[in-house]
Structure 1
C-alpha cells in the first residue's frame, strides 16, 4: 500500500473509516478501563494507572511498558499531554521491548514526546537553551537501531514545523510505519520522517521518563506485511 493512500486513511476519523471486508481497520490498543494488552517491562505497579478513560504514567521509575505482541506495518494514532513543564516521554516502535544492556530504555525507533520547556530546563553547557529540534516530535534510532533521517540533526530527524502544544494540552500523533520508513504527523500535519530502519518489526512501548504524562485514544491500523527478514525483526 502506497504511503499516499495510507495518509488518506489517517486523515479520516476512526468513525469515518469504511468497514468493508478486506480493508484495513482501526483497533483500539487501550480500552480506557485497565491495562489489558500491555506488559510492564521495568517500571513498577505504581507507574501506570487508568483514570477517567486516560492512561496515566507517573514518570517514575524510568522504563517502559510494551504491547503484548509485535507489529510490522501499521498506522498508530495516539493522544498525549504532559502535565509538568519540561516533561519527557515518548513511544517506541519496532522495539525489542526490553531494556538495552546497562540502559533503562530499549533498542527501537523512538518518537519523542517532550514538553516545550524541556530545552530551557536542560540547557547547553554555556547556559543557553538547548536545540529546539528536541521538542518537535524528533525521530531517532535508540540503543543500536539505525535509520536515515529526512531532516537531519546529526543522526536524528527533527520536524520541519513546530506543532506540539504545551503541558496541560492534548497533542495527537499519527505514526505511519511501513517497510522501514516512519512518517510522523503532529496535530494534523505530516512534518517528520526517517527511512531505512535497521529493524522493521517489533513491539510498541510507552515510555516513563521522569514526569507525569497522560495518554488516551490509542488506535492501530495494521497493514499488509512486507519482506521483513529475521535480522530485521526484534527478538520475541
Structure 2
C-alpha cells in the first residue's frame, strides 16, 4: 500500500490536533477564575432613609447641640444658635468648624435659605461649606451655599459651585424656604515632603440628589481674588461660613460624615 507524503502530513497534523484537545479543554476559562471572595467588605447598616446617617457615620449635628463644633477663629465654643433641631448661622459670631479633622470622606449636609430672603447676586443667602479648613489665615476649599433659584450671579459662584473654580453641571435649586441637600465625596490632596503637590484634590457633589460636580479636579484653595494654589496640609476640619452680609440667617441640619480610606 502506497501512502503519499501529503497523506502522512495530514495524519501528523490530525494527530497533533487530537493530542491538544485535552490541554485546550483544561485551559478553557471558567466563571470561578474571575471570582474574588476576600477580603469581605464590612457590613454597614444604612439609615432609614438615604438622608439618615448609616451605622459607620460620625454625626456632626443631630439637632441637639454644637458639641462637635468650635469657633474657626480661636477654637472657643461655637456660638451659632440651635433651635427646634436646626443650626442657625450667626453673622456676628463668625465661622465655625468641626473639632475633628478629616482627610477623605463622604459628607451629607442640609441647608435652607429663608423664604423671605432679599437681595440679589452674592448678597442673597450667602454661606459656604469649606471641605477642608486649613487654618484661619488660609482660604480652604469652598462648596458654595447661596440662593440660586431665579437669582443671577457668576456661574462659578452659584450654589453647587466649587467657588471661583467650577460651575455646577446643572442648577437643581429648590425655592427659598425649602430644605436643600449636599452629598459630597472629598478626596484630599497629597503633598511631597518639600510641600509640593503630589496628587490634587477631587470632589464629587450631588445637590438635591442631582450630580453637579463629577470628580472635579481642584486647582487649589478657594480665593476670592487671584488664581488658586495648593498649600500643604494633612487633615483638616470642615468649616461652615458666616458670610456677614445682610442676608437673612441661613440654617443647617442633619450633618454627618463617613471617613474613607
Residues 1:187 and 1:91: Cα distance change in structure 2 (over 3 Å): same
Superposition RMSD in Å: 2.9
- SS of equivalent to 2:91: coil
Higher strand share: 1
Structure 2 residue aligned with 1:51, among 83, 97, 105? Answer: 83
User: What is the aligned partner in structure 2 of residue 113 from structure 1?
Assistant: 145
Instruction: Report deviation, 1:33.
Output: 1.6
Unaligned runs of 5+ in 1: 1-8, 20-24, 101-105, 120-128, 141-154, 225-236
> Residue 68 of structure 1: CA displacement?
0.5
TM-score by length of 2: 0.60
TM-score by length of 1: 0.66
Structure with bigger RCO (C-alpha 8 Å, 6+ apart): 1
Give matches, 1:50-199, under 5 Å: 50-60=82-92, 63-83=94-114, 84-85=117-118, 86-98=124-136, 100=137, 106-116=138-148, 119=151, 129-140=152-163, 156-179=165-188, 180-193=201-214, 194-195=216-217, 197=220, 198=230
- Aligned positions, number: 179
Structure 1 residue matching 2:157: 3-state secondary structure:
helix
For 1:201, which of 235, 257, 260 is the aligned residue? Answer: 235
Computing the radius of gyration from Cα coordinates, the structure with the larger value is 2
The answer to whether the 8 A contact 1:39-1:66 is kept is yes
* 1:117 Cα offset (Å): 6.3
Kindly indicate whether the alpha-carbon contact (under 8 Å) linking 2:69 and 2:78 is maintained by their aligned counterparts in 1. Answer: no
Q: Say yes or no: does 1:26 pair with 2:57.
A: yes
In structure 2, the residue matched to 1:22 is: none
